[in-house]
Amino acid sequence: MDSTVLAEIIAQVAADEAFERRLASCADPAELAGVLTLTDGCTADWSRVLAEAAAVRDRPPLLHLDRAPPGQWLPVQIYGEGGTPRVEWLHFAFAPLDEPFFEQTMARVAAHPINLVLRCSTSLDALRAFAGHSQPDGLVFHLSRCGSTLVGQMLGALDRVTVVSEPPVLDQAIKLFLDGVIPARMVQGMAGALLRQRFAETTTRIVKLDSWHTLALPRIAELFPSAASLFLFRDPIEVLVSQTRRPGLHARRGGVALESFGLDGAEAIADRDYLAWVIASIARAGLEAEPTERLALCDYAELPQALETRILPHFGIEPDAAGRTALAAAARRNAKQPRAIFVPDAAAKQAAADAELRSRALAQGLPALYVELKRRAAA
Give the confidence band of 234 by pLDDT, cuts at 50, 70, 90: very high
Among 98, 128, 158, residue at a domain's last position: 128
What's the pLDDT at 42?
67
Taking only the tens place, the pLDDT of each residue in 11-20 is 899 999 999 9
DSSP assignment letter at 363: H
In percent, the amount of the chain with pLDDT more than 70 equals 98
Chosen domain end from 68, 95, 128? 128
Q: Is 372 left (phi over 0), alpha (psi -120 to 50) or beta?
A: alpha
Same domain, 374 and 320: yes
User: 258 falls in which pLDDT band (50, 70, 90)?
Assistant: very high
Please check the confidence at residue 186 and state whether its pLDDT lies above 90. yes
Closest CA to 198 of 317, 109, 116, 111: 109
Residues 87, 136, single domain; the answer is: no
- Lowest-pLDDT range, 38-42, 258-262, 350-354, 372-376? 38-42
Compute the distance between CA of residue 197 and CA of residue 202 in angstroms, rounded to an integer: 7
How sure is the predictor about 40, in pLDDT bands with cuts at 50, 70 and 90?
low
List all residues 6 or more positions away from 201 whose beta carbon is below 8 Å from its beta carbon: 159, 160
Residues 6+ apart with CB under 8 A from 108: 95, 99
Write down the pLDDT at residue 82.
64
Q: Which of 128, 148, 164 is the last residue of a domain?
A: 128
Judge if 78 and 58 occupy the same domain: yes
d(CA 227, CA 123): 27
Do 69 and 25 fall within a single domain? Answer: yes
**327 and 244 together in one domain:** yes
Q: What residue numbers bound the domain in which 20 lies?
A: 3-128
pLDDT at 209 over 90: yes
Q: What would the pLDDT profile of 75-131 be if each residue is shown by its tens digit? A: 999 998 667 899 999 999 999 999 999 999 999 999 999 999 999 999 999 999 999
